[in-house]
Amino acid sequence: MDQYQIIVGIAAGALTLFAFGGKIWKVVCKGFAWIFFRPHIAIRTTMDERCIQLSERIEQVSTRQETKILEMNAMSFGLLAILHDRIFQACMYFIEKESISCDELENLEYLYNGYSGLGGNGTCETLMLKVRDLKITI
């Protein structure tokens, strides 16, 4: 129950007491209607307008947020694809060469950690296992 409902209830009770007062009743009713109902309607209308504006703004922000999330997902997917391609190419090169240096292995591990952190699948994992078993050169 909000404050206006309480005020209206108290005023209605007071008006009932004065109901049999003749002319006083008419004066009180006019004053009551002017003081309580009109500002109440104006405040309620203003609040409704503000709620509508706030709702529209929330919808705009939500739409923009959804767009940004879709863009971030697309960039993550693109980065994952680039890492997969780079790791795949490097692994195939080193497997064909049958050796890898410590620096090359470290670089490949660095790429693979980023790839697996983005949720990469097991294709590169299989290749990485084969590369780790290669002869390490200095």
Give the three-state DSSP class for 43: helix
| Radius of gyration of the chain, Cα coordinates, nearest whole angstrom | 37
Rounded Cα gap, residues 114 and 87, in angstroms: 11
Q: What is the pLDDT of residue 27?
A: 52
* Stated pTM of the model: 0.58
Paired with 137 in beta bridges are: 101
What are the CA-CA distances from residue 52 to residues 58, 59, 64 (Å)? 10, 11, 19
Distance CA 48, CA 41 (A): 10
Q: What's the pLDDT at 131? A: 92
Q: How many domains does the chain have?
A: 1
- pLDDT at position 84 is 94
pLDDT digit string (tens) for the chain, length 138 residues: 566 555 555 555 555 555 555 555 555 555 555 555 555 555 556 777 888 888 888 888 889 999 999 999 999 999 999 999 999 999 999 999 999 999 999 999 999 999 998 888 788 889 999 999 989 887
Residues 6+ apart with CB under 8 A from 58: none
Give the pLDDT score at 132.
Answer: 92
H helical segments located in the chain? 3-17, 23-32, 38-97, 102-117, 123-132
What separation in angstroms does the CA of 131 have from each of 2, 55, 85, 123?
A: 72, 56, 16, 13
CA 23, 24, 30: angle at the middle one, nearest 5?
Answer: 95
Q: Domain range holding 46? A: 3-137
Residue 34 DSSP one-character state: I
